[in-house]
Amino acid sequence: MRQGRLQGKHYHASYQNRASTEMNLKTCMRFICVALSFVISAVLAQPSPNVERYSQLTASADGIGKSYMGREISAVMGWQGAAWLERQERDREERTDLLLAALMLQPGMVVADIGAGTGYLARRMAPAVMPGGKVWAVDVQPEMISLLQAGVKRSGLTQIEARLCSVDDVKLPASSVDLAVMVDVYHELAYPYEVMASILKALKPGGRIVFVEYKAEDPLVPIKQLHKMSEAQIKREAAVFPLDWERTVRTLPWQHVVVFRKRN
17-73 residue pLDDT tens: 444 445 455 544 554 443 444 333 343 334 444 448 999 999 999 999 999 999 999
- 236: number of Cβ within 10 Å: 13
- Is 195's pLDDT higher than 80? yes
Residues of the chain with pLDDT > 90: what percent? 78
130 or 17, higher pLDDT: 130
What CATH code would you report for 63-262?
A: 3.40.50.150
264 or 116, higher pLDDT: 116
- 200: number of Cβ within 10 Å: 17
Return the pLDDT at 163. 97
Helix axes 231-238, 192-202, angle to 10 degrees: 70
User: How far apart are alpha carbons 10 and 13 in whole angstroms?
Assistant: 5
- Is 3's pLDDT higher than 60? no
Return the pLDDT at 4. 41
Which of 3-7, 22-26, 218-222 has the lowest average pLDDT? 3-7
- Is 95's pLDDT higher than 70? yes
Whether the Cβ atoms of residue 234 and residue 258 lie closer than 8 Å to each other: yes
Question: If you count DSSP H runs as helices and E runs as strands, how many of each does the chain have, helices first?
Answer: 9, 11
Return the pLDDT at 80. 84
4 or 184, higher pLDDT: 184
Whether the Cβ atoms of residue 177 and residue 203 lie closer than 8 Å to each other: yes
Mean pLDDT confidence for 10-20: 42
Mean pLDDT confidence for 201-210: 98
Return the pLDDT at 79. 87
Sketch the domain layout of the chain as residue ranges: 1-46, 63-262
pLDDT band of residue 77 (cuts 50, 70, 90) is confident
CA distances from 69 to 13, 52, 56, 60, 173 (A): 68, 10, 12, 17, 28
Return the pLDDT at 177. 98
Mean pLDDT confidence for 92-119: 97
Mean pLDDT confidence for 94-114: 98
Return the pLDDT at 264. 86
- Is 8's pLDDT higher than 80? no
Mean pLDDT, the chain, whole residue set: 86
Return the pLDDT at 214. 98
Mean pLDDT confidence for 225-252: 98
Mean pLDDT confidence for 129-156: 96
